[in-house]
Amino acid sequence: MLFEIRSSGIDGTFTVELLALSRSRTRMAVALDITPLNLSARLLVQSLKLAKNNLTKRFKLRVADYSKGLEDRLQRSA
């Protein structure tokens, strides 16, 4: 699944890939690519790069929580 992001200062793509490993396991890969188009957007992207480790950790925790919720809903409905 591919989402394109466009604003006055930033273009980007957000990609979600699901890969079936077995009947009960699926791997989810998420990627975000951002391209700044002006100076203020370039400063925003630079600050995001500096905070990348913290943002990545928080993002992984939220995606894991979301995935766990999906898994629980699937098990309840089956």
pLDDT for 61 equals 94
pTM: 0.70
Distance of CA 77 to the CA centre of its chain: 26
Please list the pLDDT of the chain residue by residue as tens digits (78 residues): 999 999 999 999 999 999 999 987 888 898 999 999 999 999 999 999 999 999 999 989 998 898 889 888 888 886
DSSP symbol at 68: H
DSSP symbol at 37: -
